[in-house]
Structures are given as C-alpha cells and as structure tokens.
Amino acid sequence: MESWSTFGGDLHLDLTGRRAGGLGLRAALEDALRTAVQDGRLTPGTRLPSSRALGGDLGIARNTVVEAYVQLTAEGWLTSRQGAGTTVADRPAPPAPAAAPTAPAPGPAVRYDLRPGRPDLSLFPRAAWLAAARRALTAAPNEAFGYGGPLGRIELRRALAGHLARVRGVRTDPERILVCSGHTQGLGLLCGALRERGATALAVEAYGLAPLRGVVAASGLRRVALALDEGGARTRLLDGSGAGGVLLTPAHQFPTGVPLPASRRSAAVEWARRTDGFVIEDDYDGEFRYDRQPVGAMQALDPERVVYSGTASKSLAPGLRLGWLALPRELAAPVARLKVLADTHSGVLDQLTLAELITSGTYDRHVRRCRLHYRRRRDRLVAALAERAPGVRVTGVAAGLHAVLLLPPGGPAEAELMARAGAAGLAVGGLAECRDEAAGPGDGSPQGLVIGYGTPPEHAFEGALDALCGLLGRL
C-alpha cells in the first residue's frame, strides 16, 4: 500500500515507480513527498502521519521514514517541532515552473542560406580536432585543468604569437596576447578598458556587423560613424571625432570588402598617437585572401597603438567562441583585469587543442584547404552572376567569405529584393542592415545584397546560386 489518509483524503505516494526508476527506498519516499508538497497535494500546515504510522502504511521500516522526514525538514519542505510532530512547512505554494516559451512562429522555410558571417560548417575538421585534443589533453600537466591566469594558456599564446607573426605580420609576444570568447568578448573588454581611461565614444565604420553595435553600446560608449568611400573608412574624419578609439576592418571591410589603403592606415595610427587613442583591428577573415598575398596586419605599424583582434570563427567554427587580442602594453593590464571579472579566463581544453593544431601544422593545412574551397565558390558566384545577372556589380571579392552585389539604379530596391528572396526560400543579407544607426538615415545610400557564399554546405551551393541568379537575372 502506498497511500495514507490525510484531512483531504488518501494521498498516493508512488514508491514502486520511483524504485523501478533506480531510487533507493528512502530516496523514493523523499522524492514522493517532495513532489506532493510541490504540486500542492500536501498543503502547508498539513500534519504528516507519525513515522511509525506511515512506515506501517507503506510497509517500510520506521527508521526510513524518520530519515526522510529529517532530510525534507533540512531542505525546508517540512517543519518538525518537539511534541507537535511533522507538518508541511508553512509557506505559500510555489508557482509551478513555467512552461517553455512558445517557439516563434516559423517564417517561410529557408531553403538556401546565403547570409554572410558564417563559414561552411561542414568544413570543421572533426577528426583532426579530436586527434589534436587527444594529444593535447594527454600531454597537459594537471595544473592546466585548474584556475589559470586571465591571458589564457601559455601553449596557445606561444603558438598564436608565432602564427600571427608569420601569416599576418603581427608584432607581439605571448605576454601580450589574451585569449577570449570570440571577437564579441574581446571588443567588450576593450570598450570597457577605453571607458576606464575616460573615453566616451568609439569611432566605427558606417557599415559593419550589426551585433557588435550592441556590444559597444552596452559598454556605455557612444558610436561615431566614419563614412565609407571606395577606399574604405574615411579615417581623416577621426580628427575632431572625440573618440577614444576606432574599430576598423582593415584587411577586408565588412561588408564592402575594400582593404584599407596604406595612407588611411597611417592616418588612423597617427591619429591614435596624437590623441592617445587606440585602433582596434578586427581581422575577422584575414586568412582568406585569394588574388594576391594577404595584406599584412595594420597592427605591425604600431603595436602600441593598434590592438589586433583575431578569431577562429571563420577559419574553424563560430561555435568554438575562440578569439585573441594582441594588446598594446598600456591596455594589457586593464583588459586582463576585466577578463578576470568577466569569466576568470577562457576554457582551457579548446585552447590546448588549438595550440596543438597550430604547432603541428594541421591548422595551416586546414586553412589552405578552406581557402581553396572558398576561392572556388567565389569564382563560381562571380561567373554565374556575370553570365546570368549582368545587371549587378559584384565587389569586395578579393578576400573573405562574402560579396556585395550592387543593384542597378532604376530596378527594385534592396528591401524589395530581400523580400522576394525570402519568399523564395533564399536568405540573403542587405547593405541596409549593416548600416550603423549612428551614421544617420541612409537615404541615397547604395543598394546592395550581401552574399555569404561560404555559408551553404557544398551540396546546396549550386541550388543557392540558381536561386540567386533567378532573383537577380531580370534586373
């Protein structure tokens, strides 16, 4: 028998089912009583049977009931007073846990995803990663699994210092590198450090990655938008901007794809020196350049004025949430202090694995393989559009994983085309969503789609191209 009489009637306690689920007798009783209090079947003030009586009712040892009562009293469900027996604790019944929020109503299904900002996830080198993880975790000292310093594992910082010098011309050393949770966290930490130095504004490119704007705003910095022209961000506008730093994408402006010319790089660095400001170089896809040698990192012009911010999000996977900053001396300590407050340091296992991947040469081979893959994609996109949608102008394709398709004047506007694309199951990006609100209304701005040709898996790429050309062919 698994019930007893209360004021309200028999109370059923399902011990058998719980024991079948693997609980011991006492644990089953505790769980059954807890549930009965939780769901309101046992109301506050209800006096429970004596341990002897309940034990008899349930056919279990009295002591088991005593122990269960003690436990539930310790947990706050029951109260027990000398002479008054055991009663359900006197408190309002807690609200039932909320149901899961209903999922948003699905829009038209996305058949082909050509939104920018994401690599081809099917390229993630699972086997190589696992092999490197095995080597790294086997070799790691025990202390690696403990709390560490805010900069991150020394193995990765050493590997990165060498790698970044070699492939991007970055001038740094392991003591100036901080491993963080992607560029998002890195930017947040840098904004915080600039705020601490008294900055009130950060200059940004008038077009950029929308989510980063929220990160800057959350830090309390105002954004000052630098207009773009065919040579990228107009860095001369920094003078008089009042900004304490500037966020740039010098290797491959997002989204327009222009590399920042030498004169503007110098101008930005000069401005930073003159105003005691800093340049944040977001090198989000600097490893993917197709038509000539990569443009070296701007950081090398002045490692004390330019913060280099790199990421594994395009070369490996965004889901890793792995990024790194090469910091000027003056920012190293403040940024490290903020990292301690944010999360102590980044997780060590992925750091050790990436270090092993880099030092073994696997990372370089992987990047080369990806570069070839994306260059082919790029070539297919450009050729298809040239043939089937000659009205659009394709720009920004010397590097990276996305292209800007400028729309011919007189045809449908960007928003109209994006709506048509969506209705056809084709997800694309647009220039308008990249425009920073701080740049003011975009009346008369160029109209164009931002196409992430790296995004679809290989089997879907041809179909995505067809859909895109179908959309744009009539312009």
Residues 439-468 that bind a copy of itself (CB under 8 A): 457
Question: 183 to 222, contacts with a copy of itself by CB under 8 A?
Answer: 184-185, 188, 211, 214-215, 218
Looking at residue 320, the DSSP 8-state letter turns out to be: G
Question: 1 to 30, contacts with a copy of itself by CB under 8 A?
Answer: 26-27, 30
Min dist CB 212 to a copy of itself, Å, is 10
**H or E stretch covering 382:** helix 362-388
Distance, in Å, from the CA atom of 475 to the CA atom of 472, rounded to the nearest integer, reads 6
Cα dist from 101 to 32, 82, 105, 107, 246, whole Å: 28, 45, 12, 17, 39
Taking the alpha carbons of 218, 219, 224, 227 in that order, is the dihedral positive or negative? negative
Among 130, 386, 415, 423, binds a copy of itself (CB under 8 A): 130
Among 106, 147, 240, 459, binds a copy of itself (CB under 8 A): 147
Q: Is 241 in the site for a copy of itself (CB under 8 A)?
A: no
Question: 269 to 308, contacts with a copy of itself by CB under 8 A?
Answer: 269-270, 273, 292-293, 295-296, 298, 300-305
Q: Is 469 in the site for a copy of itself (CB under 8 A)?
A: no
Q: Is 257 in the site for a copy of itself (CB under 8 A)?
A: no
Q: Is 105 in the site for a copy of itself (CB under 8 A)?
A: no
- Binding window for a copy of itself (CB under 8 A); candidates: 50-58, 341-349, 443-451, 467-475: 341-349
- Binding window for a copy of itself (CB under 8 A); candidates: 258-266, 366-374, 379-387, 462-470: 258-266
Number of residues that bind a copy of itself (CB under 8 A): 102
Min dist CB 329 to a copy of itself, Å, is 4
Distance, in Å, from the CA atom of 440 to the CA atom of 250, rounded to the nearest integer, reads 23
Q: Is 87 in the site for a copy of itself (CB under 8 A)?
A: no
Min dist CB 76 to a copy of itself, Å, is 4
Q: Is 53 in the site for a copy of itself (CB under 8 A)?
A: no
Nearest to residue 51, comparing CAs of 32, 64, 33? 64
Distance, in Å, from the CA atom of 219 to the CA atom of 322, rounded to the nearest integer, reads 21
Min dist CB 428 to a copy of itself, Å, is 17
Min dist CB 153 to a copy of itself, Å, is 9
Q: Is 365 in the site for a copy of itself (CB under 8 A)?
A: no
Burial 336-369 (b: 16+ CB within 10 A, else e): bebbeebeebbebebbbbbbbbbbbebbeebbee
Among 9, 59, 83, 101, binds a copy of itself (CB under 8 A): 101
Half-sphere exposure of 262 (CA within 13 A, CB side): 2
Nearest to residue 385, comparing CAs of 464, 280, 459? 464
Distance, in Å, from the CA atom of 472 to the CA atom of 212, rounded to the nearest integer, reads 30
Q: Is 230 in the site for a copy of itself (CB under 8 A)?
A: no
Min dist CB 190 to a copy of itself, Å, is 13
Among 6, 50, 73, 359, binds a copy of itself (CB under 8 A): 73
- CA dihedral (460, 463, 464, 466) in degrees, to 10, reads 160
Q: CA Rg, the chain, in Å?
A: 30
Q: Is 223 in the site for a copy of itself (CB under 8 A)?
A: no
Taking the alpha carbons of 56, 60, 65, 66 in that order, is the dihedral positive or negative? positive
Distance, in Å, from the CA atom of 176 to the CA atom of 154, rounded to the nearest integer, reads 11
- Binding window for a copy of itself (CB under 8 A); candidates: 197-205, 257-265, 379-387, 404-412: 257-265
